[in-house]
Structure formats: structure tokens, C-alpha cells
Amino acid sequence: MNRGASYWNRRVYYNTLDNQTVAVDAETGKEAWRTRLGDINRGETMTMAPLVVKGKVLVGNSGGEMGVRGWLTALDAETGKIAWRAYSTGPDADVLIGPDFKPFYADDRRPDLGVSTWPKDTWKIGGGTVWGWISYDPELDLVYYGTGNPGPWNPAQRPGDNKWTASIFARDPDTGQARWAYQWSPHDVHDYDGINEQLLLDLPIGGRTRKVLVRPERNGYIYVMDRATGQVLSADPFVHITSSLGVDLKTGKYIPDPAKDPGTMKPVTDICPAAPGAKDWQPTAFSPRTGLLYIPHNNLCMDVQASEANYIAGTPFVGMTVVMHAGPGGHRGEFTAWDVVHRRAVWKIRERFPVWSGALVTAGDVVFYGTMEGWFKAVDARNGRLLWQFKTESGIIGQPVTYRGPDGKQYVAILSGVGGWAGAVEAGQANGSDSTVALGFAGAMTDLPQATNRGGTLYVFSLP
């Protein structure tokens, strides 16, 4: 699993699974530098795409199910030397929280929350990895990124809010110092990582144009936040939700449903959304022409039972048995067009499997996305009408891109190939005998091996 590379100043930057960030000359492929940032023997990996901001390569780690400690690291783009590292858990000095840290909500201003909201020393193996997307606002000079789930999944072993897992940070790219933070899912009990993409938009909210950050979150809500302060302006459900009761806009607090809290050896059923969230890491797209946000997402629920998890470095640290299943309607995926300003769905397309492809919308009012059984689709951006589709050799969980070629034509490209949770099911040819395979994803996907194939192919299409 690898989520991409970055280009800056004639170099390409990418991460390896064994925790190395590499810079190569874009013309020759000659290696400029290589820096090791983590220890794979402790369960750390790196799967995210780096982002270069002001001469610094920003990278984070993966491994939240292995009892690792999450971080974001900045490397000098010219030399590969570490400029700063901000941990997701631990004392403020480690999290790079100092005098400039001014979160909007008073409860988040207390010192050393990355320690006090955990049982003794558990923050050292508490997760909060940074394996998703990073965004940069050059006007406010802030980088934004989310943190992953706390570990272990068994919430009884880590009472407290478990800051700063399942959260978002706004940081100074030069120093790494935090300006504000907000926790999407305090004391996350359902693996609702907060690593999804940030859309930085200027929109008319409440009668005036606001600089907002928009996030369709794994916990099932579309958050619209003031990206300068971290205030939650709205949080609306875009899927069927049983795991929580809403978000209090006065306090910013996410309100979990205690009936769905999986205590040790206590079976809990029909938790919606399931652990992959209402939407996982697959990116959305926004069109300023239609004012709509295009969301590829899941329609999954799960049954769980927690158990005691023991920490052994480099091995799974989970403590939860999970079986996932389709949500209401029986389909497992949807593609939704959402009006951010008016806070409502405009149209939806139901899909057989979770939609793990990213979305792409063009100025010609065409939206592209792929399905897990391998269809690459183009639909009308205003009404969702199918315009064209092409069957690729494998399921699509990659991101469509568009570009103008040297011949002046516009092209759209997509990588076909199943990976991640879905890849574990397909590669193992799951037959339904063990629905807990792939952390329970197999329970919802026993028919995937019959609907797609393994593979990895780049397809490029020209537009008229």
C-alpha cells in the first residue's frame, strides 16, 4: 500500500514501507538522499504520500494496530535532515504544543492532555499515526493533517479521551508548533481514524464568506470548520449512524452512543458506520461550478466483541473481534454529491461494494470514480447520470487524475488494482468460512473474489 509521491524543485519524493523517505532526481532517477525515520521491527511503517511545503518534506507513520506512537516529521527537502518532529501523544513538548497553541474550545487548552487523558504511560504505545493526507494554506501559513485511531481497539484498556488520536492539527510548517487542534472522536471506540483529506474552501457560511476546512469524517459527519481557529461551524451526517448521537456545536463535542461502546467480552451489534468509517482515506472532490462535494464512501456496519490485548513490540495490538456487514439497503458503497453550503445530499449512486476510489471532477461538469469490481465511471456532475464506463482488469482504489498532454488533448488516468483491507480479502480468496479475516472486512466482502481479480494496471483515456 502506497498513497503516492510528491514533486518539488526537480525532485520526486516518496516513502517506503520500511520507514524511509527517498528523494530522487526527476530527470534521471538518481538518488539524492534517503532518510530512515522509523523502526519496522516495532510495527512502524510508512504508507502516506509526502507533501513538500516551504522546502520541507512532511511525512507521517503508520502502524496504529501495532502499538506504535504516531508522529509527523519534517525533513529538509535539499538534504533529508530532520527539521522537526511532532508526536500525536505525550507531553506538550513532544507534541510541539507551546505558547502559540490556541484551540477554539476551552477544554482543549489544558496542559499535557496527551498524557493526562491516558492511563499511565499507555500514550507511548497509543497509536495516533499520521498515514493520511496533508493540506497547506499559504495565506494562513498553516499545514493541516489528521491523526489515526488510538490503540488498542479495546477501549476498556485506555479510559480517557486519548488525546491527540482521532484528531486534526493545524501547525506552523517552519517550526511544527501547533496553532490549534480538535479531536473528532474522543476516546475512539470504533477505529474512526481522523486521517481523511482536508478541503480548504472559501464559502458563504452564515451570510458571509468564511475560510473553511471541510472534512467528510470516518465517524459519519461532514465537518465544516473555520480553518483559522478550529471552530466547528456544522457537522451533518451523510450516512446511516448508530454509533453516536450527534455533534454539539456549542462545545464541539462528539456525542457517542453508550449503547454501542464495546466493553471487554460484551458483544455489541449493528454499529454503523463500521471500522473503515463512513468514508476512509479515499479523497473527495469539490467543484466551484456546481458547489457540490463528491464523496466516494462506504455503507457498512459491524458487530464486535472486545478482548484483552497484550502489547508485544512489532505484533498486532488490537483486542477486538469484528465482523462487518452491509448497511441499510444491502449495498455496501455509495457515491454522494453533497451541497456544503446548504448541508444536504443532492444525489446519490448506490454501488455493490464500498467505493474506495478517489473522486475527480472537471470543469466540463464530469465526475470520474472507480468501483471495487473494476468499473471506471464518468457521471454528470449535476445529476449523477451515467455518461460512460469502462471495465478494468481489477478493482479500483486509486485516485483518478487529469492532465493536458503535449499534443494539447486532455487525458484521464486511473490505476486499477485492489489493495488494503479489500486486497487482503481478494488475495486470500475469502470463502466466507471466517468472517473475521482482514479485521472483519471479510464478513462484508465474501463475494469480492468472484467480482474482481488481482492486478495493477495504469489506464489512460483521452477526452473528446
Question: Which of 325, 329, 331 has its CA nearest to residue 441?
Answer: 325
Q: What gap in Å lies between CA 271 and CA 440, rounded to an integer?
A: 13
The one-character DSSP state at 230 is -
DSSP secondary structure of 53-104: ETTEEEEE-B-GGGT-B-EEEEEETTT--EEEEEESSS-HHHHT--TT---S
Q: What gap in Å lies between CA 146 and CA 132, rounded to an integer?
A: 7
> Parallel, antiparallel, or unpaired for β 199-205 and 208-216?
antiparallel
Active site residue 217: no
> Parallel, antiparallel, or unpaired for β 375-380 and 366-370?
antiparallel
Active site residue 149: yes
Provide φ and ψ at 367, rounded to 5°: -110, 130
Active site residue 393: no
Q: What gap in Å lies between CA 360 and CA 281, rounded to an integer?
A: 15
**285 close to 367: Cβ distance less than 8 angstroms:** yes
Length of the chain: 464
Which of 15, 61, 149, 154 is the catalytic position?
149
Which of 44, 108, 188, 191 is the catalytic position?
191
SS (HEC) of 179-199? EEEEECCCCCCCCCCCCCCCE
**14 close to 51: Cβ distance less than 8 angstroms:** no
Q: What gap in Å lies between CA 151 and CA 68, rounded to an integer?
A: 8
Q: What gap in Å lies between CA 47 and CA 18, rounded to an integer?
A: 9
Which of 44, 65, 193, 280 is the catalytic position?
65
Provide φ and ψ at 43, rounded to 5°: 95, 0
Q: What gap in Å lies between CA 232 and CA 247, rounded to an integer?
A: 9
Dihedral-angle region of residue 426 (phi above 0 means left; psi in -120 to 50 means alpha; beta otherwise): alpha
In 117-229, beta strands by DSSP E: 134-137, 142-146, 167-171, 178-183, 199-205, 208-216, 221-226
| Catalytic center residues | 65, 149, 191
